[in-house]
Amino acid sequence: MERKVRVRFAPSPTGPLHIGGVRTALYNYLFAKKLGGDFILRIEDTDQTRFVPGAEEYIIEALKWVGIAPNEGQGFGDGDYGPYRQSERKSMYRRYADQLIASGHAYYAFDTPEELDEMRDKLKANGMSPQYDAVSRMSMKNSLTLSADEVQKRLGANENYVIRIKLPRKEEVRFHDIIRGWVVVHTGTMDDKVLFKSDGMPTYHLANVVDDYLMKITHVIRGEEWLPSAPLHVMLYRAFGWEDVMPEFAHLPLILKPDGNGKLSKRDGDRLGFPVFPLNWNDPVTGELSSGYREAGYFPEAVVNILAFLGWHPSDNQELFELEELVQAFSLERVNKSGAKFDVNKAFWFNQQYLRSKSDEALAESLLPYLKKHNIAVDKSYLNLVAGLMKEKVSFINEIYTEGLYFFQTPTSWDQDLIRKKFKDFTPGILMELKAGLESLPAFTKESIEALFHQVVEDKNGKKPGEMMLPFRLAVSGVAGGPPIFELIAVLGKEAATRNMDTFLSHTKSLNLN
């Protein structure tokens, strides 16, 4: 019988979610939605020593922000039996560990950390891999080497112990990964990993496999760093006799530093000026603040698009995908095997595309709180016009302000070199005429301003427009670049444009250029 597709995102709440984790969640979401399946959130918090308060809430908020909230795992709504936190399910895992002991697939081990170190050192000294395996376990203190009585005595005396999987000495573990193809590993190279710890908690491996089984997970889609654990998980499915419902595996490629040299880390982000987390994160222990995409001014749609392309590619050249379109276009078969390099400029580009697609009104609305913080009060209809002009020039909403300061205040400093380079003896005179012309324009439109410019510069003074364009722009806006000048002036309005020119003219006069 065809099983309903059920996938899970299973983060450990050990800190803020790295964008690699958000990508894993996204690919799980896309895969589930495309096939009409369920997307489940499971919090893997069995390692109590690494638990960080606030991390679970952060994960949920981040998924919501990018628009990929799981439909199961939080306990809201129909058919959601969550929350699924492994720490709250811990009494159940013990039963499964006991089942493996009873069937001869696991054993108790009483070795102390010192004894383990000694064993590993000995193996290393003999050029062997330091594994607790089919050979080395026979010289250690466990229920395979101790008598049944001795084992009972130790258990009864509450001695520290762990439960380890008992791997066969020579067996081939073969499984198919949707992205990587067939993977073959021999048990001779594997460790009898701990399944259950002395603190009464299962390890990641046991809890992960038991939960995937109980939650009827059909596909395990996760980062490449878990590929080495997959053979062990396959062996656990075999040991439990669950092979017929073992999920299919898909291990996603790493997200690499921009130069391709290793895994993308928080330090790379800090160094190169981009966040590696979806939202700001205030470390509760160190107090350190890590920046997030949301607070850095990225649109959630842009982040989705950026992440979708870090490891996956569509069948054609389309680059802009809304979430719904991604659901349609996505397939695990189109995920690359090799690592995906993070490209900062491409990230800016994606944000710029989404910024341009917003209405002027929506941009102005988002800019208002930012301006308020800078104590700038402006009329909403004016801000709509500014946003409309500036949106072609910027990648982030706040740049409408930082790159277009002249729309909000009179410029009071200018690039002196530029002034010296571009000023001719006739410049101040013509600027004065232009200013007077602007003052007396009956209709202040980009067409009338443009006509005035040509009339004053060419017709009256016989100069080329190119000679006066930059000085005119500097005089009005204070800077050399920006949106088309006549439109800029029309938006700025008569009063501000002529005031700016006045300030500029008195400044250049004081320079005694001629």
Active site residues: 266
Nearer to ligand GLU, 208 or 352 (CB): 208
**Distance from C-alpha of 42 to C-alpha of 72, rounded to nearest angstrom:** 9
Which residues are within 8 A (CB) of 489 and not within 5 positions of it... i.e. 6 or more apart?
A: 438, 446, 449, 476, 497
Q: How far is CA 84 from CA 45, 78, 91, 296, 441, in A?
A: 10, 15, 14, 31, 69
Nearer to ligand GLU, 290 or 384 (CB): 290
Nearer to ligand GLU, 9 or 107 (CB): 9
Which spans in 165-273 are helix H? Answer: 204-214, 230-240, 266-272
Nearer to ligand GLU, 18 or 137 (CB): 18
Rounded to the nearest whole angstrom, what is the least distance from the CB of residue 119 to ligand GLU in the complex?
A: 28
Nearer to ligand GLU, 44 or 301 (CB): 44
Contact by Cβ (8 Å): 5, 36: yes
* Token digits of residue 91: 């009494």
Rounded to the nearest whole angstrom, what is the least distance from the CB of residue 219 to ligand GLU in the complex?
A: 11
**Distance from C-alpha of 318 to C-alpha of 330, rounded to nearest angstrom:** 13
Which residues are within 8 A (CB) of 448 and not within 5 positions of it... i.e. 6 or more apart?
A: 441, 442
**Distance from C-alpha of 451 to C-alpha of 177, rounded to nearest angstrom:** 67
Nearer to ligand GLU, 57 or 458 (CB): 57
Rounded to the nearest whole angstrom, what is the least distance from the CB of residue 194 to ligand GLU in the complex?
A: 16
Rounded to the nearest whole angstrom, what is the least distance from the CB of residue 11 to ligand GLU in the complex?
A: 5
Rounded to the nearest whole angstrom, what is the least distance from the CB of residue 10 to ligand GLU in the complex?
A: 4
Rounded to the nearest whole angstrom, what is the least distance from the CB of residue 226 to ligand GLU in the complex?
A: 5
Rounded to the nearest whole angstrom, what is the least distance from the CB of residue 12 to ligand GLU in the complex?
A: 4
Strands, DSSP E only, in 333-398? 340-341
Rounded to the nearest whole angstrom, what is the least distance from the CB of residue 197 to ligand GLU in the complex?
A: 16
Residues that bind ligand GLU (CB under 6 A): 10-12, 44, 204, 208, 222, 226
Which residues are within 8 A (CB) of 250 and not within 5 positions of it... i.e. 6 or more apart?
A: 177, 178, 179, 219, 220, 221, 222, 332, 335
**Distance from C-alpha of 108 to C-alpha of 69, rounded to nearest angstrom:** 40
Which residues are within 8 A (CB) of 145 and not within 5 positions of it... i.e. 6 or more apart?
A: 137, 138, 139
Give φ, ψ of 249 to 5 degrees.
Answer: -110, 145
Residue at 289: amino acid letter: L
Nearer to ligand GLU, 55 or 400 (CB): 55
Contact by Cβ (8 Å): 204, 188: no
Nearer to ligand GLU, 207 or 387 (CB): 207
* Token digits of residue 134: 């089919």
* Token digits of residue 52: 């960080």
* Token digits of residue 423: 């000023």
